[in-house]
Amino acid sequence: MHEDERVLLVGGGGREHAIARAVARSDATLYACASNRNPGIASLAAEVETLDETDPEAVVAYAREVDATVAVVGPEAPLAAGVSDALDDAGVYAFAPNAAEARIETDKQFQRTFLDEHDIAGNPDYATFEDTEAACAYIDEYDGDLAVKPAGLTGGKGVRVIGDQVTADEAKAYLRDSDYDRVVLEERLVGEEFTVQALVADGDLRVTPAVQDHKRAYEGDEGPNTGGMGSYSAATRELPFMERDEYDAAVDIMESVVDALSGYKGILYGQFMLTADGPKIVEFNARFGDPEATNTLPVLETSFLDVLVAAREGDPLPELSFSEEATVCKYAVPAGYPTDPDGGTRVSIDADSAGDARLYYASVDAREDGIYTTTSRSFAVVGVADTIADAESITDDALAEAGDDGLRSRRDIGKADLVQQRIDHMNELRNN
């Protein structure tokens, strides 16, 4: 149907490997460019070009070289650099927001102010500061706990939460040591986090099932924040600790944001905290989550290419259909990650030895004699099954095959006792 379409994928992580697989299920020709060479993407693409993915001129030059008809920008850094704008200006439709719209993610001060000005439901108390000592004084004066967030991009690792990760004194020391230009202090939200991702174009919004990510490095939600150690979704739109009307309330918030962001296109990622009073906004991102894309895209039955083409042509986006299956994703990371990662371990698992799991490469070094870890997240294994428990079992089998020599993962993600803890936590909050 779309055999003449030539799709350019910008980015080379696990999220982009999941996007590449979604495109590869169609009859389009896939091209990819990134600062690293992802062997999983390379196996699916007609060609992979190594370039600086935050250099708009370089990306546009490659798009022209391969006669791309549509582009997908995966990571946030190219969005902030204006890659989507440059592609659009060059006549290559980019299914991604322009740099100004991507500020909903890339500038947390803009994000909170925007939500406030448009009376978007679920926006917590917040204050923004350019002066570190003024921010520290606010911490001293505030009646309650706060989340401390640098205003710019930090790869999901810059946030410190008072009363959870740090004390108030430690938060102030963090600000003084970090020397951030701008910082946002937000009311600490108590509940269970979840994500809803949406495909957006021309005012249309098509939402995906809710996903719960696990940011903390170690089992039992201990340790520092990471880019995401893994995630799970249920066979329903909502997660086990949620009611359907709570999922719908989050979707209503996202629809309000799309209404206020006239002309937004691409992915809108809503990160929410489900509280006793319903969903509150943790943040918005302007792209698929990583790992959340590896949960969402494997169960998407609608052609992802059909969505891209409809967006480009200004047609209504197709309704999204998902298989009624649960997913569990677990990342394997180098030993010592994230504080003192030790790369250089040979990765023994491949698509064949992963069994029933789907394997998504993230940050790896493909050498002549094999694939090796770097100092970032290495690869994700994803199980898809009728239940969360069965999907989790599939990932465990794959990680056993991968071994634990120089690698580590959070085996507790998706396990029955951790999922039950989430359910019990929300029941306790609702009943208080």
pLDDT tens digits, one per residue of 313-335: 999 999 999 999 999 999 999 99
The H or E element spanning position 285 is strand 278-285
| The pLDDT of residue 378 | 96
CATH T-level topology, domain 192-418: D-amino Acid Aminotransferase; Chain A, domain 1 (3.30.470)
- Average pLDDT of the chain? 95
| The pLDDT of residue 157 | 66
**Residues 207 and 191: beta-carbon distance below 8 Å:** no
Does pLDDT of 344 surpass 70?
yes
| The pLDDT of residue 180 | 86
| The pLDDT of residue 414 | 98
| The pLDDT of residue 274 | 98
Which residues does residue 200 pair with via DSSP β-bridges, in sequence order? Answer: 205, 266
Give the closest residue to 329 by CA, choosing from 247, 228, 253.
228
Query: 41 pLDDT band (50/70/90 cuts)?
Result: very high
DSSP symbols for 398-419: HHHHH-SSSEE--TTTT-HHHH
| The pLDDT of residue 108 | 85
Domain with CATH 3.30.1490.20 in the chain: 125-187
Please state which of the ranges 22-31, 148-157, 207-216, 409-418 shows the lowest mean pLDDT.
148-157
| The pLDDT of residue 163 | 86
Phi, psi (deg, nearest 5) at residue 249: -65, -40
Domain with CATH 3.30.470.20 in the chain: 192-418
If you average pLDDT over residues 77-93, what whole number do you get?
97
Alpha helices in 107-156 (DSSP H): 108-117, 132-141
Query: 154 pLDDT band (50/70/90 cuts)?
Result: low
| The pLDDT of residue 155 | 64
Q: pLDDT of 167-212, one tens digit each?
A: 999 999 998 888 788 888 989 999 999 999 999 999 999 999 999 9
Domain 125-187 has CATH 3.30.1490.20: yes
Beta-carbon contacts of 210 under 8 Å, excluding residues fewer than 6 positions away, are 194, 195, 196, 233, 234, 237, 238, 239, 242, 247, 250
Domain with CATH 3.40.50.20 in the chain: 6-99
Does pLDDT of 2 surpass 90?
no
Give the closest residue to 281 by CA, choosing from 406, 184, 143.
184
If you average pLDDT over residues 255-265, what whole number do you get?
95
Pick the CATH number of 6-99 from 1.10.3430.10, 3.40.50.20, 3.40.50.1820, 3.30.300.30: 3.40.50.20
